Structure 1
Amino acid sequence: MEQLNQLYEQHVGENVFNPAHYAPVLNQHELSTFFQKWLTTIDLAILGELFFEQLENTLPLCGLKIQCNHSDFCFGLRSNNRYNKRLAVIQHDEQVAMIHYTFTRTLVAREWQILQQLHILFQNPLKNGLEYERIKLAATRDNLTSLGNRSSFDDTMHRLFSHAKRQPSQFALLVIDLNKFKQVNDQYGHSQGDKILVACADTISCCLRDTDFAFRFGGDEFCCLLTDTSIDSCQQITERIQQAFKEQDLLAQHGVSCSIGSAIYQSDDTEHCLFMRADAAMYRNKN
């Protein structure tokens, strides 16, 4: 056992492990029990939650992080202690994800083998979840700016409304319309117009908090949904965006600015009402 533990300690820090050191520990019935649960979903968040709960009941696991290209999914508590281990998920000789495991103590050799066995088994369901996430992301992102599209805006608005109805909270909507964009587009062509739109999207995103959302609503119109926002903080973000437009080189070069209208959620609002208030405020500011 001491020799096995030495072998474990030598290889436990690697992000990929040597199959020669891998020996099946769980039997077919136990593996089938794990696998059957993973087949119930391809949603990455739910899949990760299932994986975390199963490992938590099998190993001294206290935290799990699935790190992929576009986002991270975290479960439980993670820390920077020495019991953090990571294993890669490989597809066609390329790393598609990295799974970080956090334990309450050092694993013994048998536990390390169980982790390797379950990690291998989990890879195919995870790859299916990653492909689903990629397709879902493509369906909800604007191809040009990489912001959320109209469909993503509608879904996020509906989700914030549902949350506010269940647990009273304030959020705000910003409607942003570009000024002088049409003249630039007509004079310099759509290629330059596309660069302007990308610059606007990047500028807006940089002015938001991590908990806020930005969307390209259509054409040269953008929207932002600001969570847990007061009137004062909404005004601060509005001013920050307008100032950032003035300081962005490409936008300043072409004199492109923006008009912004805002509206704070009220308990008797509908989604349509909230949007119309923000849209009307934007047109008042534009005029």
Structure 2
Amino acid sequence: MRWLRDNWIDALIFAVFAVTVVGIVLFLTGVNPFKARTPAPAPAPQVERPRPQAPAAAPEAPAQPEEETAPVTVVPLLPEAPEPQAPAEPARPEPAQPAAARPATPAAPAPAQPAENPTGIFRVSVGAFGNPLNALALAEQLEAQGYPVRLEPVGRVTRVVVGPYDNRADAERAAAQLAKYEPQVYRGDTPPPAGRYLQVGAFKRLDSARAVVAKLREEGDWPVVLNYRQPWLKVWVGPVDDAEVAGWKARLEALGFEVVEVR
């Protein structure tokens, strides 16, 4: 206590300093020691609600006697009259365009109507053979049946033709009779054979040419074709190139044939 009496000034300064420091700290932290604390609100008491009870069943009302009802007459309803509609406006004709603006459309040509039975020269091709003996046999068979037959050289094959007929109907009828040969009807005459041939015989009977054809095929397998226009059946060799005509002609004459050059 003596020290306090002797140093009371220092103690007072220290106390003031300590109070100042504590006040600064409380100011910075936002703590007010002199503010009264607000007591926490007490929780509201929970009121127990009464549970709803099922309503008691109402007593059944006594049954009332049924009242007699008068018969109801059903009156049919008339359909409502349709509302009048405004008359449709007539279509306005579009203004005609000038002739220069419209694209020129060429008129389609009328299809040509084929004639029901055209006339002319009609023939029926019934086969083409590389072996002239087969063509000769078919020609003999058809001629024996009364068909007009021709043999035409086409390159190195011989074509068998039936005809001519004056109209397509007759040609079609002949083709139907020769259906097993898969015939083809064509119009017009056959053009003359192209190329150069060497004729080695001419006969009036078809069977007379058989020996000549067989000999030529045995003596070097010459390209033989037949040209039959009644009454003559001509045996030709070819076609032959121009450079080989002389050589072929000499060889055929050596076999005993009279050779005539044909074009």
Give the structure-2-normalised TM-score.
0.25
Give the structure-1-normalised TM-score.
0.23
